Chains A and B, each alone.
Chain A
């Protein structure tokens, strides 16, 4: 039994004897450092806890510890600040770099009055996003290189820079890294970072207050304009027009513009042509889903940053099970770290499997079967569910049938023969063909993609 396990057992016993409030107050962030002759050395977060454990609760502790080591007569406490935040070791390094840049001279210098500051364009810039902590893999090489180039040579190399990719793949990280890096080089640079939604709302507000002119002016006085999630201005004609003018002016002044979106410009429906062609006129780079190795690298980096020791095998397990989204990946890791610290457990493979079981197997498949897919599809296309199973090869039936096959494959992970079986005993190659056809279709035809999303939400909302 190691010290950690002994302490857990002791805590378990002490918890029965004292009130819950006292227990959390005095025993939070404590651990056994070592056994020394006849005393146990306990690490505590502050002087108050030290006094309390040494003088008031020592009897409880000694009583409980007797079961494991019978020679212990004394409790000795050491105040160690480290216990309060395990991350402090790493974060100190971080703080250091931030400080020299941020508070040392620069922050003071760039500091305007605080209330003014919030009005400036730096809203939403997060210092944590930097190139240094961006993990480059084959999936984002191009985007990363382009951003790096832009940060070094703003306005002159790739203008505008358009980055697209799915959720949680690092677009915002890249965008903000550019802004932070430029600010670090020259704190006097004016940078506007805004989401398209914020841009729209602000525009609406200003129009309401009859300040449209000021609105435009506020965006023209900048060295770098970053608009995140630009796809949200699709369909908002007036906003697009306003953005078009701002874009043109800045472009002519050689000011850098960076945009991000979840899809390429040409796939953004209801985006005006003149904007689309402008977006396409600069550099377009995509970020795609990271491959397994990159995902593992990300996890390793994050774990190291939080000073958390974890086996590579375990990281491999997490990375191979969470594939789509880096944010989810981080979430899973944080969850493991938190539960481990809470329960003082080691992050072994089996422990991690148990902890993450509801993340990995959650949502998607629960409660969904062939029946629900067929229902949702026939409901959406307004056909009789029996027709999907029938032999009809009418065009308005064939497509829904293929969609159903696709969804069964994608959402239920059903086998192709199994899918064929469900839909009127068709051959597995039919199902394969349908799956491929629809997968290809989604990439090209966003009406289809929209349809599928609608069906999916219908399907899951019925559970």
Chain B
């Protein structure tokens, strides 16, 4: 194998691949990245048997061939060298030689013949979506997926399909996030309607989605999504991710979302987030509790926290309140900050019925009109 590539391209491909590598002690080959020089492209693949990724990189191929090299080594190496213009890549006796602007490395590789074959999509894309839109919305919900493995289905992100849109949702049972993505006319493939009639929803591991949105850049093209036998493919630019789907039934989370609110507040997101962050410094180290005090007849809301060890803090933020009476709602500060930072609008709306029930956060783009596309729910701490 011998080729030349722009080091920027090469590095990008390798780093995407490196991220999916897992520790697999039974099959050591999995800690490697496979490089294959084919006709006019360099193919870079990696997998941990849950997620697989294949990147096609533009390169000037001088001699075809393939080699598998330890992902950590090549990843750390590329991370540390300064970006030169070109990267020369060559293999001799299963050793990979990289040369770029005065820096040369020889990485010991292993035989590529045992490297797993990464599945390829077998059919037409099911649907397409603007990468940037997908990235933005997936990023909003992904943080709410459960980390602990006790409930498999909660570690994934729910995709619910409608005729011309789909919804992403994630919950760890303490908070919940939902985002709607509209699809344009030509975005759904031929098999889409048939598919959703049979499978109205799927669950994609949050980790997969994390890697997918990480690989999306500013100039990325439309993302193509394929769904096959218990697996899903995401194709952006020249990178294809494949992942298993989580087998299970996602909770009927929609029932948790309150339909009406007796109280609501419009508040500037940045100032609230800042106040909550400040209050977090003083929140109790165990309960992480931050309280919002909202009054019906006041255009100020209070953010309070206190702890025995550190002291206490009170801040006021101006708001536009439509609350009934006076409420004091206690939140885990992290959940609150996560919810606030998942939005990008200037103003947000907070809706609730009492201090115990779910509290809904929504973006506000037009004055006094909460948006429907995205919501975040956080359960208060009951005192």
Contacts and interface: CB of A to CB of B under 8 A. Distances in A.
A78 B47 contact: no
B244 A47 contact: yes
Given A46-B231, A105-B256, A108-B174, A115 B287 contact: yes
Given A48-B117, A50-B119, 20 more contacts: A25-B26, A46-B49, A46-B231, A47-B229, A47-B231, A47-B242, A51-B119, A52-B117, A79-B229, A79-B230, A81-B230, A81-B247, A92-B249, A103-B173, A104-B256, A109-B357, A111-B173, A113-B332, A116-B286, A116-B287
B381 A24 contact: no
A100 B176 CA distance: 16
Given A112-B382, A113-B174, A104 B49 contact: no
Nearest to B243: A47
B116 interface: yes
A95 B249 contact: yes
Task: Tell me if A's interface is mostly helix, strand, loop or mixed.
Answer: helix
Contacts of B255: 104-105
Contacts of A207: none
Nearest to B233: A47
B256 to A, nearest CB: 5
Contacts, number: 109
Interface residues of B, number: 45
Interface string A46-58: 1110111001100
27 contacts: A25-B26, A25-B27, A47-B119, A47-B244, A48-B116, A51-B119, A52-B117, A56-B117, A80-B230, A81-B245, A92-B249, A95-B249, A102-B173, A103-B173, A103-B253, A104-B252, A104-B253, A104-B255, A108-B379, A109-B357, A109-B358, A112-B379, A112-B381, A113-B174, A113-B289, A114-B332, A115-B287
Contact of B249 (A96, A111, A119): A96
A88 interface: yes
Interface string B79-122: 00000000000000000000000000000000000101111000
Given A50-B119, A104-B251, A22 B114 contact: yes
Interface in B278-292: 286-289
Given A111-B174, A115-B288, A99 B358 contact: no
User: Top 9 closest A-B pairs, CB basis?
Assistant: A51-B117, A79-B229, A47-B119, A103-B251, A81-B247, A113-B332, A47-B231, A21-B26, A99-B251
Contacts of B13: none
A410 interface: no
Interface string A62-91: 000000000000000011110011001000
Contact of A114 (B28, B52, B174, B230): B174
B252 A88 contact: no
A24 B358 contact: no
A446 B377 CA distance: 59
Interface residues of A, number: 38
Contacts of B356: 109
B173 to A, nearest CB: 5
B239 interface: no
Contact of A47 (B151, B230, B256): B230
A48 B49 contact: yes
B228 interface: yes
B173 A107 contact: yes
Interface of B: 26-28, 47, 49, 52, 114, 116-119, 151, 153-154, 171, 173-174, 176, 228-231, 242, 244-245, 247-249, 251-253, 255-256, 286-289, 332, 356-358, 377, 379, 381-382
A48 B174 contact: no
A116 B330 CA distance: 13
B248 A95 contact: yes
Contact of B49 (A25, A88, A111, A115): A25
B284 to A, nearest CB: 10
A394 to B, nearest CB: 64
B288 A113 contact: yes
A92 B152 CA distance: 12
Contacts of A104: 251-253, 255-256
Given A84-B247, A103-B173, A109-B357, A48 B52 contact: yes
Contacts of B249: 92, 95-96, 99
Nearest to B377: A108
B157 to A, nearest CB: 15
Q: Which of B47, B153, B245, B382 has the most CB of A within 10 A?
A: B382
A47 B116 CA distance: 10
Contacts of A84: 247
A85 B230 CA distance: 14
A85 to B, nearest CB: 8
B311 to A, nearest CB: 20
A78 B357 contact: no
A24 B26 CA distance: 8
A92 B251 CA distance: 12
B252 A111 contact: no
A88 B286 CA distance: 37
